[in-house]
Structure formats: structure tokens, C-alpha cells
Amino acid sequence: MKDLRSKKDNKRKPKRTLLAEAGKLLPVVRQQIIDGFTPKATDVFRREFDFFDKVTSISGVLFPKEE
């Protein structure tokens, strides 16, 4: 039993690889969730995130990135 378990453990991918693979799926999953919204929910979602993007972009105006 122990030998079988150690063989399975050796086949596991490194955590960094798993996170990278999961990260590639996130945009797809996010879009599928958004596609499932009702028109009213989509409108609320878009307005909230548009507002959030505007607020967070202010930091770039207040504290411009030096190049």
C-alpha cells in the first residue's frame, strides 16, 4: 500500500503548475458566469465594475508611474 501511495505522490504536479493552469481557466469561468446573468444583473455588474475601474484608475493620475 505504501509503495502505491508513493507512486501516486510522485505523479503530482508542482503547486505552481497547478495554480498557473487554474489561472488560465479563470477568464473562461468568469465569462460563463457573466453569460448566465439576467439582463438586469448584467447591467448592474457592468455599472459596478465600470465604477470600480474608474476609482482604481485615479491612483494612476495621482501617483503616475515613473519610467
Domain boundaries, the chain: 27-57
24-52 tens-digit pLDDT: 899 999 999 999 999 999 999 999 999 98
Q: How confident is residue 22, by pLDDT bands cut at 50, 70 and 90? A: confident
15 touches 23 (CB < 8 A): no
Q: How far apart are CA 52 and CA 67, in angstroms?
A: 26
